[in-house]
Chains A and B, each alone.
Chain A
């Protein structure tokens, strides 16, 4: 068996475990932070400071009856949550936690992540469509319109960074950045970072862009009819997707594992956690935008800005190459 294959296998197992763990921890963090924002303690009964509460919730979800509505399409209905969760495992493979600390060293790591994260929308569509529920259908329609729209500026902003770095390999991009914050890509590409983060919120269906599951309008949107682990997988996938977009943002814009004093992986995890906390703060402070506004933000602002940013970046990159040649 080739070494590369074993490496991927170990990586997958590690990812599967850590996704579960991260999911549990993130649920706890989110509920605690939300609690403190809302002047209440959050979960505190189960375990120390309520740390085991997500585990209890997960056990409850596992133990629940899997219910399928009448006249729903059984194959598609159960395929959807699985499909939403499986690609997430792949997304973690090319993420560099430290120098040489990644499961899959691939030239097109960034492309791999973007391609497989695009699959998530398919599962939302299937789930909403197959559950034979009007709210589910509306949620699915929203999810597709939103994800398709926000993928474009996301891609364009990522492209700008890879132009500068000259590589689609995440580890290479990180190596191109220095130790200190002023050596990071966020200094040269602040606009791309902004566009990326806003699009990432849209991509992961997080508030204020959580329209596919807008509770007060669509009850729960595409996962209205899912019970037990059907819902649990969607939920886990959402958190895992959050981790992935934050990790990619860290690698691309915030210098990845680069940082003074502390070892690389610690810096990486710290930066990812910071971005995730930011996303949690957004969710608990802002109202939800309206659907047409959401698309307007994308098509009227993010898209043109991302294109302009890309053009400007490529112009300067070319300029730098020319001047180098002449010297």
Chain B
């Protein structure tokens, strides 16, 4: 083999070597990832370990960087929507909404009322699917092989429902500037109505079999404690900040669409640990179901796309706009600047996972490797979103 002839100093890349400079005597530098079963994609974490204990950890990003923000500069606003479905495969509709909402705000486009309800329903269904995906994968991280199969069973039903109106199962580009692409027909609505009691029946089973399991509780209780102050400092949002006791949810704190009309709670937990974040997500299942239920009853008849909705050649007016929605992982923000030209001048995407991940280096210090994996999972990271 050729590389065996290289001296030891050349081994490792820039990040490892830079990280190793400050290493303690006798510690072990370990690369978790970019290919590692518990990083769910191509996240890489360089850790310095003393036995099983982690002295330092440093996430290394960029393995899935696809230049979405740059692509926005060479596409018109309407052409850019498919990109948004690919930023976060877990909660694609949240990103759809954030971008479309920003453009609507910029151009002052009013969305038909029915479209708002359709958006809420599909977005919440997608949130459920995202939380189910997290739940299954998280338990897989903790060594329980079976829950992911049940989670995917439920998720499959949601994907089947969303498949009809959106035309895809994962990377949706369903929202349009001024509405949505297709109305939810009667068949689709009845399937959603049937799904709600099904999901409600499953939740107690998950609680009995998984959430209350003593091994699981011992694994996630008291680890990865994040103080509310730290959450604020790092800009954490979503279930991560709510798991630390701050009821921050864009749907309530900066209301958009028809959310002010809906009756739902923002689950929080004062535990501040991985268990707190787990509980918040589990409680959000029920809240999302409540939202969908109300929307189905309140939904008016009418169009789902505004008359004269922007075509691909449409030029956004001059100005700037910021719009944020509550994604499954936290606050999804899109900031647009338009100079009135063919393409948007600048599109800045604020990914919640990026801020949440930055907590990891802080929280994982001094924990053991197994806990670090549990903490990483509890932050619910989707790597493509972090790298954008």
Contacts and interface: CB of A to CB of B under 8 A. Distances in A.
A164 B370 CA distance: 41
B152 to A, nearest CB: 10
B368 A292 contact: yes
Contacts of B142: 216, 287-288
Nearest to A37: B146
B159 to A, nearest CB: 17
Nearest to B148: A38
Interface in A118-141: 134-135, 137-138, 141
Interface stretch (A180-188, A206-214, A269-277, A304-312): A206-214
B1 A290 contact: no
Interface string B1-19: 1011000000000000000
A192 B38 CA distance: 37
Interface residues of B, number: 32
Given A37-B146, A70-B1, A134-B28, A287 B370 contact: no
Contacts of B209: 285
A70 to B, nearest CB: 5
A315 interface: no
A288 B38 CA distance: 14
Contact of B3 (A37, A38, A70, A214): A70
A287 B149 contact: no
Contact of A207 (B140, B141, B143, B150): B143
A215 B368 contact: no
A287 B144 contact: yes
A88 to B, nearest CB: 25
Contact of A216 (B1, B143, B368): B143
B369 A138 contact: yes
A218 B146 CA distance: 20
B219 interface: yes
B1 A219 contact: no
B213 interface: yes
Interface in B113-141: 139-141
A326 interface: no
B385 to A, nearest CB: 21
Contacts of A288: 142-144, 215, 219, 370
Interface string A11-48: 00000000000000000000000100111100000000
Residue of B139, B146, B219 with highest tally of chain A CB at under 10 A: B146
A287 B216 contact: yes
B36 to A, nearest CB: 7
B219 A289 contact: yes
Residue of B28, B37, B370, B373 with highest tally of chain A CB at under 10 A: B370
B52 interface: yes
A283 B218 CA distance: 17
A214 B150 contact: no
Nearest to A209: B143
B63 interface: no
B110 interface: no
B237 to A, nearest CB: 26
A286 interface: yes
A233 B201 CA distance: 44
A4 to B, nearest CB: 46
A4 B194 CA distance: 71
A51 B14 CA distance: 50
A81 B133 CA distance: 37
Contacts of B373: 216-217
B320 to A, nearest CB: 44
Q: Is the interface of A mostly helix, strand, loop or mixed?
A: helix
Given A208-B215, A287-B144, A287-B215, A215 B37 contact: yes
Contacts of A291: 52, 368, 370
Contacts of B150: 38-39
Nearest to A220: B37
B379 to A, nearest CB: 15
B140 A71 contact: no
Nearest to A69: B1
Contacts of A134: 28, 30
Contacts of B51: 141
Interface in A246-291: 283-291
A291 B153 CA distance: 31
A216 B215 contact: no
B58 interface: no
Given A215-B37, A216-B37, A208 B149 contact: no
A136 B143 CA distance: 18
A284 B143 CA distance: 9
B218 A290 contact: yes
B371 interface: yes
Nearest to A296: B218
A293 interface: yes
B4 A217 contact: no
A214 B145 contact: no
Contacts of A40: 149
Interface string B225-259: 00000000000000000000000000000000000
B201 to A, nearest CB: 15
A208 B4 CA distance: 39
Nearest to B4: A70
A108 to B, nearest CB: 37
B283 to A, nearest CB: 21
Contacts of B219: 287-290, 293
Contacts of A135: 30
B140 to A, nearest CB: 7
Interface of A: 34, 37-40, 70-71, 134-135, 137-138, 141-142, 207-208, 210-211, 214-219, 283-293
Given A216-B373, A217-B373, 13 more contacts: A38-B146, A70-B1, A135-B30, A142-B52, A215-B37, A215-B143, A218-B369, A285-B209, A287-B139, A287-B142, A287-B216, A287-B219, A288-B215
The 4 A-B pairs of least Cβ separation, nearest first, read A288-B143, A38-B149, A287-B144, A216-B38
Interface of B: 1, 3-4, 28, 30, 36-38, 51-52, 139-146, 149-150, 153, 209, 213, 215-216, 218-219, 368-371, 373
11 contacts: A134-B28, A138-B30, A211-B370, A214-B370, A216-B38, A216-B143, A219-B37, A284-B146, A286-B143, A287-B219, A290-B368
